[in-house]
Chain A
Amino acid sequence: MADFMQQVVAGLASGSIYASLALALVLIHRATGVINFAQGEMATFSTYIAWTLTTNHGWNYWPAFAATLVVSFVGGAAIHQGIIRPNEKGSVLRVVIVTIGLLLALNGLVTLIWSGEVRAVPSPFPTRTIEIAGVAISIQDIGTIGVVLATVVVLWLLFQYTRIGLAMRAAAVNPAEARLVGVRVAWMLSLGWGLAAVLGAISGMLAAPSLFLDPNLMAALLIYAFAAAVLGGIDSPLGAVVGGLTLGVGLNLIGTYVDFVGADLRLPVALLVILVVLLVKPSGIFGKTEVKRV
């Protein structure tokens, strides 16, 4: 039983990392109708910035964390304004190609600036465990869950209770009508991209200690995030969080208790999840089935 609880907590921790990145994907898809294939690379870039601040410039962890979030926000918004927005009027495929180009460029840029060698990144949380109800739980896991939870709560408060959050929601669901009440929709969308970049950065910085830092840090994570977003419903923020946590716990438990599925088959299982969900209920757990307007 203790073992089970440990696996669940560990699953929740990795699940919150998926959830954070999935939430970023959902945010962007809801606002601009686009799947940002470069979300993972943006997160990797942010993580490298945090790493270089702490390692090469001697910053303390949490100030570096905060600074990285700010830089990521500005970067995400700038990418939307400069690169995505001019292509929004075209077909969906145009934007997809642009995000693919962004993926390539950022991946290459990371290698160019910091080289491709794999690096160990220290965790901000102590690596020991504490006892809760007789079970040894890793503090890092708790810390990870805590950070993501806090982020989700802050975002929720932002969207539900602030003027600008309301404007962002309006811009996402009804951009034409939002303009009529004076909302500067383009800026709201850039804000959305900025927030998504922040979420991605959090994902990366939390994942780096266990996954090690190299240019391909987020490649696999992006796929888990896709699976989580599809599972929860690609337009549902709640779905992204629930989907991520479910996927994390599910993969962990399957990996531990089902012999056939070893550690390296987690990715195909996640892909299977994507395929099965898309075949059975494409809109995911919390999504609404699309009514096609004639």
Chain B
Amino acid sequence: MSALLALEAVEARYGPVQALRGVSLEVDEGSVVAVLGANGAGKTTTLRAVSGTVRRTGEITFAGKPLRGGPEAVARAGIAHVPEGRGTFTELTVVENLKLGAYTRRERSLKADIDRVAEWFPWIPARGGQPAGTLSGGEQQMLAVARALMARPRLLMLDEPSLGLAPMIVREIFRIVRELNEKEGLTVLVVEQDARIALRTASTAYVLEVGRVAVSGPSGELRENESVRRSYLGY
């Protein structure tokens, strides 16, 4: 299996603050990779570096080609980034959110796409006309994932999907992520604070500390390594 996404020595800063000090990681096609670490370790910045939301130096390769440009170009390349805080268009309706998800797609078989997405989130068609802001936090998170799926991405990037959600809903979301990966072969890169559930879903994990990769490896190994768990993952 080859790496769909590869980062090499990526650095990024916010003004005078250096957020990433040389991050290297790989995401194989068809796998789920987790990026873990404490607050401020640089997890969100890593995703932002990929999607071009923040300026960075270093090499990023996607599907064998160098990845360049801002978020618009990255979206067109086939990467769907669900940002921290979901990024749903709260003033627009559920259906309009989905339509925007498919914005980059040339062939516009919208109905078929929405039907497909409805298989994963059956509650969506009934609530299509509702403003997205009236959905609950968990529903908005699921809508954000559904919107990302509308683009038929090769890589789905999720930033802290568990943020502000009840444990039961978090489990449901990660179940869907795992099934999407198993049944449709969707490659997923997920940033998470909740290391436990992330390690159960992902096959590989990278743990960031102060802008660098401190530990990485198959998630099974990391889970079993008590010192890693205590020092980096908090349990």
Contacts and interface: CB of A to CB of B under 8 A. Distances in A.
Interface of A: 163, 166-167, 169-170, 173-174, 176-185
A169 B81 CA distance: 20
Contacts of A181: 75, 100-101, 103-104, 147, 151
B22 interface: no
Given A163-B99, A163-B103, A167-B100, A182 B75 contact: yes
B75 A180 contact: yes
A173 B91 CA distance: 8
Contacts, number: 59
A180 B96 CA distance: 15
Contacts of A179: 53, 70-72, 75
B64 interface: no
A166 B72 contact: no
Nearest to B147: A181
A180 B83 contact: yes
Interface string B86-121: 011101100010011101100000000000000000
Residue among A173, A181, A185 facing the most chain B CB atoms (10 A cut-off): A181
Given A163-B99, A179-B53, A179-B71, 14 more contacts: A166-B99, A166-B100, A170-B92, A173-B91, A177-B87, A177-B88, A179-B70, A180-B51, A181-B104, A181-B147, A181-B151, A182-B75, A182-B151, A183-B72
Contacts of B127: none
B53 A182 contact: no
B65 interface: no
Contacts of A178: 89, 100
Contacts of A183: 72, 100, 103
B229 interface: no
Top 4 closest pairs, chain A to chain B, by CB: A182-B75, A182-B104, A179-B71, A177-B87
A163 B104 CA distance: 11
B164 to A, nearest CB: 15
B76 interface: yes
Given A179-B70, A180-B75, A173 B92 contact: yes
Nearest to A177: B87
A173 B90 CA distance: 9
Residue among B71, B75, B101 facing the most chain A CB atoms (10 A cut-off): B71
A173 to B, nearest CB: 5
Given A173-B91, A174-B87, A177-B83, A182 B72 contact: yes
A120 to B, nearest CB: 46
A166 B147 contact: no
16 contacts: A163-B103, A166-B100, A170-B89, A170-B92, A174-B87, A177-B87, A180-B53, A180-B71, A180-B80, A180-B81, A180-B83, A181-B75, A181-B104, A182-B75, A182-B103, A183-B100
Nearest to A184: B72
Contacts of A173: 89, 91-92
Nearest to A160: B96
A178 B147 CA distance: 12
A4 to B, nearest CB: 40
A108 B175 CA distance: 65
A170 B88 CA distance: 10
A175 to B, nearest CB: 10
A179 B103 CA distance: 10
A182 B76 contact: yes
Contacts of B87: 174, 176-177, 180
Given A179-B53, A180-B51, A181-B147, A170 B100 contact: yes
A134 B75 CA distance: 62
